Chain A
Amino acid sequence: MKIIIIAWRNLWRKPWRTVITAGSIFFGVLLSTFMTSMQYGSYEAMINNVVKFYSGYMQIFTEEYHENKTINNTFIFSDSLKQIVDNESTITHYTERLEYFSLVSSENLTKGSVIIGIDPDSENKVTELKKWVSKGQYLKSDEDGVLVAVDLANYLKVGVGDSLILYGQGYHGVMAAGIYPIKGILEFPSPELNKQFIYMPLKTTQELFSAYDRITSLVIMIEDNYQLSRAMRNLKKEINSPFMVRSWEELQPELVQMIDGDKAGGLFMKTLLYIIITFGILGTILMMVSERKRELGVMIAIGMQRFTLSKILIAETFFIGLIGITAGLIFSVPMTYYYYLNPIPLVGDTAKTMIEMGIEPFMYFSIQPDIYYIQALVVMIITMLIAIYPFIKSFTLKLTTALKA
């Protein structure tokens, strides 16, 4: 039918007006996708940082350990549990940990610290721990030895090759004591972490605390955060009491809160942008309808049904939206992809703060498909909501008045 042709040609009766209106949509889509890509990129970096740094995307532990984090609430990573984890396709890596507290001494200095027993190879796959070794060497699973966080090492006045005495309480109240050589010094970006951590091979830690074959948690990695809900859903189906599975979101609620707060700010900015776009399109559509009243009246007079006329006007509005959105996406996709591959380096205080938070000082971008289609969809919904005006107008147009216009 001629509807599409008429609608399309009508757009180009005043090309500049169409270009300007589509242009406002173009810039709206471009800005909103750029902004969202940057927002999501920074969240991904933060989440990545948190999960890769320590917590993993998910952890499995016992319900008792969740309530009371003592070494008595540890568990044995059984074959049946291993099978569940191995069968879950979203999981890329996992590592066992035995975490507890102990006193650490060197000569006449003593301090409380967090002892983390790890399998050096699988831990490195999950958290890339090796990259924080600033002096000495990374652990080997068949060796006795520890990695000490830098500030703790400084406090205890020890270095690589020195020994540390660990003593405290082990599994079911047995005495835990041992002397271990320092294999390496860890230097984390966060000063808080540098004050308290000691990493040891898992077997050595289990022996120290007499918690043979026992672990406090299984730390799990998946491809990315977008797989999290599926992985959680699948694991929760399989893992029953006395075990439980928790996501990083449950383990780090303060980060979720921070992201939610930032999202709200971003949403406010995008809403402002959408309001500007809305008025831009609305202005054009009002003009397009009001200056063509007589023409619309003639169409009805010669026999066009009002519903058909409304389809022409809706098609015109749709085309404007489509041109703007398509142009916006054509520019925003490669632009955000470029910055995804080449994050913008940050300098000055912002960079310093980020480093202190353990985040690399870059402005990251995301290229998740929903960034693009959600913006496109929102703008198209706005456009089609505006199309309600010409739709109503085509049904309420008074013929005799329109023909005199």
Chain B
Amino acid sequence: MNVIEIKDLTKIYNTSEVKVKAVNGISIDFKEGEFTAVVGPSGSGKTTFLNMLGGLDKPTSGDVIIGGQNIWQLNSRKIIDFRMNNIGFVFQSYNLIPVLTAGENVEFIMQLQGKPKKEREKRTRELLEAVGIGDRIKSRPSKLSGGQQQRVAVARALASRPKFILADEPTANLDSSSTSSLLELMSQMNKKYNTTFIFATHDQRVMDKARRIITIEDGKILSDEHFDRK
């Protein structure tokens, strides 16, 4: 079953001198439960592609259809609500809210969704335990290591029960042991919750874990390969 359908997606940046086609007519589908890496050299357009997919950056043309809804036909308020209920984000620099504890960061999105307090607290505990830092529920991000912060970010991304998670270079700031344990964790979450993961990455270790690798260059898909990995 397709979670995301992308049709002829294009993004053109108008600089003062030239028009730059960051994404050039990409059409592709993502199925439920996929663990996909979008790879390509710097400036290839993978982050722009992910941003348009995640409702963060408006395409110049083309459609992003998630669960049957063309997200770029929604108004700005509805698109934020759509992101909240359907998309999880994991950023390169963790981007946790520094004044909230690990638990509060995870709970926050459920609070925005208007979930009841008991349900929020239960799911927060479950998720933080699932990502292996249940004992740090009351710690603020500044008291956590980079790897721990990224685990909280993964728990936060999963908290809203999204249709898919977009992770832009999630391992870029992590050492190798943190990277492998985070990848293992995301792989487990992918299997446990059947959540679709889409990574933009340079990292070979991420590519080694991915069951689908889409290579982008000059805003176009160069290759789209599937792998049978456990």
Contacts and interface: CB of A to CB of B under 8 A. Distances in A.
Contacts of A157: none
Interface residues of A, number: 21
A403 interface: yes
A6 B54 CA distance: 25
B91 A403 contact: yes
B111 A305 contact: no
A203 B154 CA distance: 99
Interface stretch (A16-24, A114-122, A205-213, A294-302): A294-302
A345 interface: no
Contacts of B57: 399-400
Contacts of B83: 301-303
Contacts of A305: 77, 80-81
Contacts of A299: 97
B100 A298 contact: no
Contacts of B98: 13, 295
Nearest to A8: B99
Interface string B58-89: 00000000000000000011001101110001
A29 to B, nearest CB: 27
Contact of A2 (B51, B80, B104): B104
B51 to A, nearest CB: 6
A13 B89 CA distance: 25
A306 to B, nearest CB: 7
A304 interface: yes
A399 B91 CA distance: 13
A309 to B, nearest CB: 10
A303 B97 contact: no
Contact of A400 (B56, B89, B104, B113): B56
A298 B77 contact: no
A9 interface: yes
Contact of A403 (B56, B80, B85): B56
B104 A300 contact: no
A317 to B, nearest CB: 16
B84 A303 contact: yes
B170 to A, nearest CB: 14
Contacts of A303: 80-81, 83-85, 109, 112-113, 160
Contacts of A308: 112
Interface string B128-157: 000000000000000000000000000010
Nearest to B156: A302
A298 B99 CA distance: 14
Contacts of B51: 399-400
Most B CB contacts (10 A, CB to CB) among A10, A13, A303, A305 go to: A303
Contacts of A9: 99-100
A373 to B, nearest CB: 32
- Of A10, A294, A399, which is in contact with the most chain B CB atoms at under 10 Å from its CB? A399
Nearest to B94: A298
Interface string A284-320: 0000000000110011111111101000000000000
B111 A298 contact: no
Contacts of B91: 298, 403
B95 interface: yes
B80 A300 contact: yes
B97 A295 contact: yes
A305 B80 CA distance: 6
A279 B89 CA distance: 38
B112 A304 contact: yes
A1 interface: yes
Given A2-B108, A399-B57, A302 B99 contact: no
A294 B84 CA distance: 18
Contact of B97 (A6, A306, A403): A6
A305 B104 CA distance: 18
B77 A399 contact: no
Q: What are the 6 closest A-B residue pairs judged by CB atoms, nearest first?
A: A303-B84, A9-B99, A298-B95, A400-B57, A399-B56, A303-B112
27 contacts: A2-B104, A2-B108, A6-B97, A6-B99, A13-B98, A13-B99, A294-B93, A295-B97, A295-B98, A298-B89, A300-B80, A301-B54, A302-B83, A302-B84, A302-B89, A302-B108, A302-B109, A302-B112, A302-B156, A303-B84, A303-B85, A303-B109, A304-B112, A305-B80, A399-B51, A399-B57, A400-B51
Interface of A: 1-2, 6, 9-10, 13, 294-295, 298-306, 308, 399-400, 403
Given A400-B56, A400-B57, 8 more contacts: A6-B100, A9-B99, A13-B98, A295-B95, A301-B83, A302-B112, A303-B112, A304-B80
